[in-house]
Amino acid sequence: RQAVLEYQVFYRQRYADEAFASCQGVRLPATGGYAIATMCGRYGAELCTPQRWLDFQGDKNNGLAPLQIDFRLLPNASEPG
């Protein structure tokens, strides 16, 4: 029997930045705090970055990820001149 235990995901930096930005200002009604604070582990909202956010989301030890996910951010593609 075979099973996937972990995998790598490759995102462009721009995609990661925009996804992070879309979540950054969301507040939790129950606490009034930022949702990103609970989604970035030990860094909280103040020190969270797109890479730290993704690293926490992909950490199988956080109790949320079903398996280890290694997010790799690639430089943005060059725009045609």
Query: How far is CA 20 from each of CA 7, 12, 56, 80, rounded to the nearest angstrom?
Result: 21, 13, 12, 26
Once rounded to an integer, what is the mean pLDDT over residues 50-65?
95
Burial, 44: exposed, middle or buried (Cβ in 10 Å; 0-12, 13-18, 19+)? middle
Residue 28 pLDDT greater than 90, yes or no = yes
pTM of the model: 0.85
Q: Length of the chain in residues, anyone?
A: 81
Residue 6 pLDDT greater than 70, yes or no = yes
Once rounded to an integer, what is the mean pLDDT over residues 41-64?
95
Work out the pLDDT band at 32, boundaries 50, 70, 90. Answer: very high
Locate the domains of the chain by residue range.
6-74
Residue 77 is predicted with a pLDDT of: 82
